[in-house]
């Protein structure tokens, strides 16, 4: 069979499959009309968020106001017909409808009239927010309760026409008379939140530091359209759920280090009884001073002394498991991290880079000097117990599968290149060649291979393939050429056990010096398939220290770093509570957020909850769907439908009624 004949046969099979969905010329024409119309609509608003780190309340608040997009939609709807104070009050109602209703309704002389006005105002905002969507798309975002009524209120019409005006007011009046006003207001508020943002992009690090990563994951699963880029902290949880014991130990260690046990214990049902018993047995007389948590635990039964003992126990287990990985992979070139094998237990010293340092902690009851990387029987039992629990946690496994389904290492979207952390590069800007899975890879090919290995770590049937993928995920967490880590070494051991703070330094990779160089940025865009002239690099990972004068914009605005410290652990350093990015059909806006505390109650003092935004770019002409990657996909679908119609007309495929 010739190549041409093979292509024709393959194309015919695809057209037969397409004919099952569009069984006639008329059905195909109907879809072609629909696709052509969609391409004439403006691009939907994209919302970019990075480095949530379990800070659910702050994340929830940012989603509610869509980084200021809802406030701007209110302004577009009412112009000067509502004052700034009235617009801010309406915005607060959209952000927190239940709380605002509870606050306002008891204070009103005529709550029914107030409800009727608010329903009318909210309907106007919802109608404005839905204009860039097809009616079918809007219908899918309507809440099941009251869907028919809300669809009627949102229907495009001349509201000024007397009869139509009376029709709408009768609907609203009946809603209020039936005491359904609060329900309608609440449903409209959440509908606006769903309509204002078309797609949510998470640029990594959902987990660790904060207390409620599992709630963030639940919220993402509920979202109508989300894309995720994996961060280094996400990779640790993904690898742990896949069965990597070193990453299981790391997840537990970080949870203890930040006294953040809620996600582990309450969120995912991982019980630490076996680790507790090991800690009480091996470290009962050990003060574990260097292992005191960085926060206060709210989990009953876990006091600071117990947490410190468990923290030390799991840290030593982790160092042993990591040493085993490093020895399995000489190509990682991480022999300098085999510090547990450089301990002189009798002298209470460790050798680092040829220099001998005294150990701050001299109690090593589970360390065998002859086999320092081998777990003791008690440690092995702890690892086995945790491994089983991570594998059997239904909620954790459901969340990790979601990350695999909607997540990637890198994404090119409408000319922009997006990734969580950095790129492995040399000082001269050349992409670093790194030996991975038997090949030397660099640039995009390296990130794609990492992604493949992450998937085999979880999904492969062969145990050897799973283990190879899990080891690669561990390297992504802490390897010097990891695009998720971006530093030349991770000095966890030194911070625990060596007093000399010079050994604690973690020098950044070359990418962080190069990302302000426009020529380097253009080379990255070209290599990764972005728009060299107009595209941008968007990432997070490194908190922008606003307090020290750092800017989220690099290379003249061609690189955007949207990690401003959403987690409270970072806010003393950054000075803010996170950056987010809004991109609509007209412009690109960067929002800087403050910490709102108990955000559900701040409406009581009429504080405007909307963040300040900075315009990063204004597009020369409005971006339509036809101008985007989605438009390119739709054009491909149109071309296929044209071929299907031609096959029907030529009698190659039979129409079906």
- DSSP helix/strand/coil, 290: helix
SS3 percent helix, strand, coil of the chain, rounded to 5, is 55, 10, 35
Tens digits of residue pLDDT in 341-381: 999 999 999 999 999 999 999 999 999 999 999 999 999 99
Higher pLDDT, 587 or 165: 587
Dihedral angle of Cα 624, 230, 214, 592, to the nearest 10 degrees = -60
| H or E element in which residue 228 lies | strand 226-229
Beta bridge partners of 618: 587
C-beta of residue 191 within 8 angstroms of C-beta of residue 94:
no
- DSSP letters of 90-103? HHHHHHSHHHHHHH
CA distances 1 to 16, 375, 405, 626, Å, are 20, 60, 38, 38
CA distances 575 to 167, 371, 549, 621, Å, are 52, 46, 10, 36
- The answer to whether residue 160 scores a pLDDT higher than 70 is no
- The answer to whether residue 502 scores a pLDDT higher than 50 is yes
Nearest to 515 by CA among 572, 474, 569, 559: 559
The token duo for 248 is 């299981």
Higher pLDDT, 528 or 152: 528
- The answer to whether residue 605 scores a pLDDT higher than 60 is no
CA angle 74, 80, 82 (to 5 degrees): 60
Backbone angles phi, psi at 48, to 5 degrees: -105, 130
- The answer to whether residue 251 scores a pLDDT higher than 70 is yes
User: Where residue 1 falls among pLDDT bands split at 50, 70, 90?
Assistant: very low
Tens digits of residue pLDDT in 91-144: 999 999 999 999 999 999 999 999 999 999 999 999 999 988 988 888 889 888
Across 631-639, average pLDDT: 96
- Count helices and strands (H / E) in the chain: 25, 17
In the 8-state DSSP scheme, what is residue 604?
G
**Average per-residue pLDDT for the chain:** 91
Across 271-279, average pLDDT: 96
How would you list the strands of the sheet with 553-554, edge to edge? 410-413, 416-419, 537-539, 559-561, 553-554
- DSSP letters of 171-196? HHHHHHHTT-HHHHHHHHHHHHHHHH
Q: Taking the CB of residue 455, how many other CB atoms lie within 10 A of it?
A: 15
Tens digits of residue pLDDT in 229-244: 999 999 999 999 999 9
348-357 contact pairs (CB < 8 A, 24+): 350/497, 350/498, 352/494, 352/498, 352/503, 357/498, 357/499, 357/500, 357/503
Q: Rounded to an integer, what distance in angstroms lies between the CA atom of residue 398 and that of residue 409?
A: 20
Tens digits of residue pLDDT in 48-101: 999 999 999 999 999 999 999 999 999 999 999 999 999 999 999 999 999 999
The token duo for 609 is 């909850």
C-beta of residue 41 within 8 angstroms of C-beta of residue 623:
no
- DSSP helix/strand/coil, 565: coil
Maximum average pLDDT range among 59-73, 199-213, 381-395: 381-395
Q: In sequence order, which ranges of 232-303 are alpha helices (DSSP H)? A: 232-242, 245-257, 273-282
> Is the torsion defined by CA of 147, 149, 155, 159 positive or negative?
negative
């Amino acid at each position: 069979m010739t190549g041409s004949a093979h292509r024709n046969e393959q194309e015919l099979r695809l057209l037969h499959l397409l004919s099952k969905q569009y069984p006639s010329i008329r059905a195909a024409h109907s879809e072609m009309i629909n696709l052509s119309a969609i391409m004439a609509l403006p691009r939907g608003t994209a919302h970019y968020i990075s480095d949530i780190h379990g800070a659910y309340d702050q994340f929830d608040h940012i989603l509610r106001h869509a980084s200021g997009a809802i406030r701007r939609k209110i302004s577009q709807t009412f112009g000067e017909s509502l004052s700034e104070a009235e617009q801010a009050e309406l915005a607060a109602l959209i952000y927190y409808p239940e709380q605002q209703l509870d606050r306002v309704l008891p204070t009103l002389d005529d709550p029914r009239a107030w409800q009727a006005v608010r329903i009318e105002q909210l309907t106007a905002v919802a109608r404005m927010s839905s204009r860039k969507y097809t009616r079918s798309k809007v219908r899918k975002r309507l809440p099941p309760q009251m869907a028919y009524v809300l669809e009627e209120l949102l229907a495009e019409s001349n509201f000024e026409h007397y009869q139509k005006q009376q029709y709408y007011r009768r609907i609203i009046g009946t809603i209020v008379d039936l005491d359904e006003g609060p329900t309608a207001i609440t449903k409209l508020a959440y509908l606006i939140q769903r309509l204002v943002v078309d797609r949510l992009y998470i640029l990594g690090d959902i987990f660790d530091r904060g207390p409620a990563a599992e709630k963030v994951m639940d919220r993402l699963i509920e979202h109508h359209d989300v894309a995720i880029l994996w961060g280094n902290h996400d990779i640790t949880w993904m690898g742990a759920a896949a069965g990597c014991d070193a990453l299981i130990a790391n997840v537990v260690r970080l949870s203890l280090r930040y006294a953040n046990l809620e996600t582990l214990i309450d969120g995912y049902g991982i019980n630490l009884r076996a680790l507790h018993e090991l800690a009480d047995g091996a470290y009962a007389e050990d003060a574990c001073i260097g292992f005191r948590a960085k926060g206060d635990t709210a989990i009953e039964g876990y006091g600071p002394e117990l947490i410190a003992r468990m923290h030390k126990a799991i840290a030593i287990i982790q160092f042993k498991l990591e040493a085993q990985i490093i020895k399995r992979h000489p190509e990682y070139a991480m022999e300098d991290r085999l510090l547990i094998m450089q301990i002189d237990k009798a002298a209470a010293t460790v050798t680092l880079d040829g220099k001998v340092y005294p150990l701050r902690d001299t109690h090593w009851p589970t360390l065998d000097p002859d086999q320092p990387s081998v777990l003791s029987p008690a440690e092995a039992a702890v690892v086995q117990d945790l491994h089983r629990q991570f594998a059997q946690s239904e909620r954790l496994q459901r969340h990790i599968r979601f990350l695999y389904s909607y997540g990637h290492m890198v994404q090119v979207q409408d000319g922009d290149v997006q990734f969580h952390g950095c790129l492995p590069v040399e000082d001269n800007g050349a992409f670093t060649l790194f030996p991975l899975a038997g090949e030397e890879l660099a640039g995009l090919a390296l990130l794609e291979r990492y992604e493949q290995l992450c998937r085999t770590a979880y999904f492969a049937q062969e145990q050897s393939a799973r283990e190879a993928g899990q080891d690669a995920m561990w390297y992504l967490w802490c390897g010097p050429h990891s695009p998720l880590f971006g530093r030349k070494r991770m000095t966890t051991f030194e911070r625990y056990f060596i007093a000399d703070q010079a050994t604690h330094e973690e020098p950044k990779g070359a990418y962080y010096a190069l990302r302000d160089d426009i020529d380097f940025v253009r080379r990255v865009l070209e290599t990764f398939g972005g728009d060299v002239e107009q595209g941008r690099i968007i990432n997070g990972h490194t908190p922008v220290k606003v307090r020290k004068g750092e800017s989220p914009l690099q290379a003249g605005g061609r690189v955007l770093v949207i990690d401003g410290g959403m987690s409270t652990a970072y806010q003393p350093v950054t000075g803010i509570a996170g950056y987010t990015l809004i991109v609509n059909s007209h412009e690109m806006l960067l929002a800087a957020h403050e910490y709102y505390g108990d955000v559900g109650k701040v409406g009581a003092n009429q504080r405007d909850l909307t963040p300040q935004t900075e315009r990063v770019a204004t597009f020369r002409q409005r971006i339509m769907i036809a101008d985007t990657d989605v438009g390119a996909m739709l054009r491909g679908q149109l071309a296929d439908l044209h071929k299907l119609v031609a096959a029907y007309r030529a009698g190659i495929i039979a129409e079906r009624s």
